Amino acid sequence: MKSKSPVKLSANMREDSNFSQSDLDFDQNHIWHPYTSLTNPLPTYPVVSASEVRLKLENGQELIDGMSSWWTAIHGYNVPELNQAAKDQLEKMSHVMFGGITHQPAISLAKKLVEITPKGLNNVFFSDSGSVSVEVAMKMAVQYQHSLGHSGKTKFMTFKNGYHGDTTSPMSVCDPEKGMHHLFTDFLPKHHFFEAPKNGFDEEPDEAELSQLAIFFEQNAKESAAFILEPIVQGAGGMRMYAPKYLSAVKGLCEKHNLLLIADEIATGFGRTGKLFACEHANVSPDIMCVGKALTGGYLSLAATLCSDRVSKTICEGEAGVFMHGPTFMANPLSCAIANKNIELLLSSNWQEKIEQIESQLKQELEPAQQFPSVKEVRVLGAIGVIETAEEVNVPAAQKFFVDAEVWIRPFRNLIYIMPPYVIQPEDLSKVTKAMVDYCHSIANGS
């Protein structure tokens, strides 16, 4: 096989803050971006720096970020305390293997997570991304059942419209019909899906629906290891909010049928819904919980899977004697050090008051979009604002509209939504919500 010639870095390739046209052409023709074609790529906007809630483009334009970089940067960007935590840890060690070695950042972070998560989640397994934390949770559930002698309990039960990640096991519990992974249907394991809860956060669950849910458990629990769900808010599967009593009902049915409950709090954790964790809306403690995204404040990729003593004890007393997983970058010290400071910042702030203010403002300022025939529904919970449109959004056109309005919003399918940093000021949030409503007005008028 012919080897590539050595590449000599040109001046513009060495200077990160300067983009040449050849750089942008290379990006467009050779670099995959999420859910984007290489033959017909979506436009990308070159960012050179970020500070507080603003992204600075190469042309000098600044955009107010409504996405928290996919829900991670809860304190905004270039945060002095997080910068310092990174610098301090870099001077000690950026990484060591976690096999046979431990370190203070991991111990401190695990202590914090055990303390702040729902009662009973006393054991922490670190991994390097949210999707992997779901892989870990699902393996925990299967190994738990195997350790009890239930080797046939390898299926999972879940709601439709869910999203749990892009790796294999998480894909298999995403919505098989309307989800982003239907192309892989024949490749993925087959699991059991129940209709997504119909009633919204402030509504009472439909009793007939709950009766059908009980029947669903009766039919499928015998071959299932666990029920996995996103508590209260379904994220990338549709940005839907549902009544806490649905979550309570699932927990009760899991207990009745000796199944584990896995709560995927990757998108909802660390205050996003108005509670520190969305499970708190229903006063539910899951058997296994996944956290990620906002864990490091958007600085580095890190996730954790927490489980109860019952789960960990059963696994470790089973055939293997250990949990069969171990990522190379497990409990990376640099990530853990930043996560420690990030959680300290969150808990020492008046985050609940900030979320309440954001929620109130989102409800008031997004409601006018409901009048447009192009809008199907407006919904808000905590620091999450969603406009669901009647038709699929033209992403390149919408992206240009928002950039021209000096805000950063990344729609998908028929959803224009925001999850802003908690530190966003009211006037900046108003600029973001105005752009959302103005865009809906523009498509209603056919422009």
The one catalytic residue in 65, 128, 175, 264 is: 264
From residue 395, how far is each of 46, 74, 371, 392, 437 by CA, in Å?
A: 17, 25, 22, 9, 16
The single-letter code of the amino acid at 231 is P
Give the Cα separation of 154 and 145 in Å (integer).
Answer: 8
The answer to whether 144 is a known catalytic residue is no
The answer to whether 293 is a known catalytic residue is yes
The answer to whether 35 is a known catalytic residue is yes
Per the listing, tokens 């660390």 go with: 270
- Residue 344's φ and ψ, nearest 5 degrees, are -60, -45
The answer to whether 163 is a known catalytic residue is yes
The one catalytic residue in 139, 155, 160, 293 is: 293
Q: Are 282 and 260 in contact (CB under 8 A)?
A: no
From residue 151, how far is each of 262, 302, 319 by CA, in Å?
A: 19, 31, 11
**Residue 5, C-beta contacts closer than 8 angstroms, at least 6 positions apart:** none
The one catalytic residue in 25, 35, 88, 190 is: 35
CA-wise closest residue to 311 among 161, 139, 112, 113: 139
Q: In the numeric block, which tokens belong to residue 367?
A: 């409601």
Q: Are 395 and 371 in contact (CB under 8 A)?
A: no
Give the Cα separation of 305 and 288 in Å (integer).
Answer: 7
The one catalytic residue in 144, 163, 242, 439 is: 163
- Active-site residue list: 35, 163, 264, 293
